[in-house]
Amino acid sequence: MDRYEMRLSGSGGQGLILAGKIVAEAVVIYDGRNAVQTQSYGPEARGGASKAEVVIADGDIDYPKVLDLDLLLALTQVSCTKYSKDLKSGGTLIVDSGLVKELPKGNYKLYQAPITEIAIKKVGKAVVTNIVALGMLTKIAGVVSEDAVRKAILARVPKGTEELNMKAFDEGLKAAAALLDA
């Protein structure tokens, strides 16, 4: 893989910056490849569109920002509308179907699941929506190993929440597998 670019977007407070850090750490520490993670949340820290970007490569990464977006994860309508224009033709769009109702025009692979609802109903807490989304992204993108992401999650989440976060990750993997099999 020369370069794979992803953007995790939603509203401030949804934990997408943490999810981006987990992906980058999984790639670098546990899969032994190169990655860089950047983020934007300034005035959006609590409510507006926020994003984390991860660039993954086997070789050197000369520029840390997204140039040709391969995958967009959008957990809100605002973030989908704002960032979908950067998605390359043939790229991948993963959306929270409970919150993103208007899909952009374009040539992309679409995966829709009620990500927030899965976190609430199957895991029991909305706070792990980001980890459910991370499970989906891991399975759909296929650019980082599930084992590496598990290890990175366990290294990053607060002590005492490991089981909750692993359940959330597994539910995201299951939701993605169902979409891929459909």
DSSP letter string over 50-81? EEEEEEEESS--S--S-SSEEEEEESSHHHHH
Q: Give 104's contacts (C-beta < 8 A, 6+ positions apart).
A: 80, 81, 84, 85, 87, 93
Give the bridge partners for 53, in sequence order.
7, 38
User: What number is the average pLDDT over the span 172-180?
Assistant: 97
What pLDDT shows up at residue 41? 62
Tens-digit pLDDT profile for residues 131-158 = 999 999 999 999 999 999 999 999 999 9
Kindly state the percentage of the chain with pLDDT values over 70: 95
Q: State the alpha helices, DSSP H only, in the chain.
A: 16-25, 77-83, 115-118, 129-141, 146-156, 162-181
Architecture of the domain delimited by 4-115+141-156 = 3-Layer(aba) Sandwich (3.40)
Decide: 78 and 48 in contact? Cβ < 8 Å. yes
Q: What is the pTM of this model?
A: 0.94
**What residue segments make up the domains of the chain, in order of their start?**
4-115+141-156
